[in-house]
């Protein structure tokens, strides 16, 4: 009886989710599944952005203390978002002044850049074009709506695995419940990261075009990953299957294939003509 009720509820939830999550991808123009609205992206991103800044300040980490660098980031974001597919989102950028080599984008256009990107030894960027490549990649994630699409993708499998485990436990089948838990771990380890790697590749491609259209040299994106590949010499390529990011060599191959189109967009950029 318990199992039938759980199955019914899971089936009902699945049907509701499938019925209400088809939307148009602003970048590709194709139908995609996203249970969240664009306003949901903005609301979620605002919470993540505000929460991260509050947490950093609570730990004594400075935020936006370098006025010149913040102004540079804002201008770059302004240019790149203006050529993006969703230019009207409420974009914001914050400089987190800690030696972490990273940048991240929350849904809805909230971007956080960590000062470690410019670290002379371990940093990722050496000039303005390379910084623009990083920002364009993050803005591409926002426009492709990768975060909420991933949340949508993971919703149904999570419910199904959880429901199956509950049914098994209700029937005193602990062996099945444990097996389902194991399958769920594998699912998250391979299929979820597989989608994440696909998202990263798409963000590389879209970001390359965004930076070029905004008047930044797209060859800078290749320099970043060439430098990254050199830093990781000796790493096991086989481990890439469990990574949320593609191997640097794969990223480079993809970017090289897209470079001619990006260079054409760069040459035609109205921003270059203003310089």
User: Which residues are identified as catalytic?
Assistant: 138
Cα 220 off chain centre by: 20
Please check whether residue 261 is in contact with residue 209, taking contact to mean a CB–CB distance below 8 angstroms. yes
Residue in the structure block whose two tokens are 């790493």: 235
Strand partners of residue 94: 112
- What does the block give as tokens for 33? 């599944």
Q: Which residue has 């803005």 as its token pair? A: 139
| CA atoms within 13 A of residue 157's CA, in its CB half-sphere | 15
Distance CA 60, CA 187 (A): 38
DSSP sequence for 114-164: EGGGG-TTT-S--SHHHHHHHHHHHHHHHHHTHHHHHHHHHHHHHHHHHHH
Tokens of 263: 């260079």
Q: Tokens standing for 59?
A: 């730990």
Rg (CA), the chain: 21
């Amino acid at each position: 009886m318990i199992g039938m009720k759980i199955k019914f509820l899971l089936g009902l939830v699945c049907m509701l989710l499938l019925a209400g999550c088809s939307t148009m991808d602003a970048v590709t123009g194709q139908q995609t599944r996203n249970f969240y609205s664009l306003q949901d992206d903005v609301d979620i991103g605002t919470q993540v952005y505000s929460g991260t800044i509050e947490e950093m300040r609570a730990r004594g980490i400075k935020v936006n203390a370098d006025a010149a660098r913040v102004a540079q980031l804002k201008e770059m974001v302004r240019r790149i978002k203006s050529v993006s597919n969703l230019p009207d989102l409420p974009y914001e950028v914050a400089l987190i002044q800690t030696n972490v080599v990273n940048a991240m984008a929350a849904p809805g256009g909230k971007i956080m850049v960590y000062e470690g990107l410019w670290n002379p030894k371990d940093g990722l960027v050496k000039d303005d074009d390379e910084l623009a490549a990083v920002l364009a990649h993050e803005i591409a994630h926002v426009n492709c709506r990768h975060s909420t699409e991933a949340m949508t993708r993971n919703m149904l499998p999570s419910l199904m695995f959880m429901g199956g485990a509950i049914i098994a436990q209700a029937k005193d089948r602990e062996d099945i419940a444990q097996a389902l838990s194991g399958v769920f771990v594998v699912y998250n380890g391979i299929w979820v990261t597989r989608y994440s790697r696909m998202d990263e590749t798409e963000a590389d491609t879209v970001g390359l075009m965004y930076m070029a259209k905004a008047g930044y040299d797209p060859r800078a994106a290749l320099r970043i990953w060439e430098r990254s590949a050199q830093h990781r010499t000796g790493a096991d390529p086989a481990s890439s299957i469990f990574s949320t990011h593609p191997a640097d060599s794969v990223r480079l191959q993809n970017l090289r294939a897209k470079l001619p189109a990006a260079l054409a967009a760069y040459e035609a950029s109205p921003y270059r003509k203003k310089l």
